[in-house]
Amino acid sequence: MNLERVSDTDKLELCRKYYVGGFFFLPFLWFINFIWFFREAFIRPPFDEQKQMKKYLIKSCIGSVLWTAALVTWITLFQLNRAGWGPTADAISFIIPKGIP
């Protein structure tokens, strides 16, 4: 979609949809939201809907940072401790690696 051809109200609507969508365990949607509308919300000269867009984007940014931190923590923990957790780790794994404890 080429943002140049979309009206400002539609842009705000899109931004809002992405923002709401991110709450359904879709942090990547927030990240894309932030990247895609960054130019519109922070660099372009002010327009009517820009204030609201800025709010959405900042919240999206915070959300995706939190999610990234949480995922990185969990992934590190799991990778380091999977062998040590024994049966519990096997119960929550989809694929158990072969040949290593």
Q: Amino acid letter at 15?
A: C
Q: What is the CA radius of gyration of the chain?
A: 20
Closer residue to another protein (CB): 52 or 93 = 93
Rounded Cα–Cα distance for residues 23 and 34 (Å): 14
Q: Is there binding between residue 84 and another protein (CB under 8 A)?
A: no
Neighbours of 74 (CB within 10 A): 10
User: Residue 87, interface with another protein (CB under 8 A)?
Assistant: yes
- Interface with another protein includes 101 (CB under 8 A)? yes
Phi-psi group of 90: left, alpha or beta (phi > 0 → left; psi -120 to 50 → alpha; rest → beta): alpha
Binding range to another protein, per CB under 8 A, among 1-9, 16-24, 53-61, 86-94: 86-94
Q: Is the Cβ–Cβ distance between 88 and 48 less than 8 Å?
A: no
In angstroms, what is the minimal distance from the CB of 93 to another protein? 7
Residue among 5 and 98 whose Cβ is closer to another protein: 98
Counting contacts by CB under 8 A, is residue 99 touching another protein? yes
Q: Is 98 in the site for another protein (CB under 8 A)?
A: yes
The tokens for 65 are 């940072």
Interface residue list for another protein (CB under 8 A): 86-87, 90-91, 93-96, 98-101
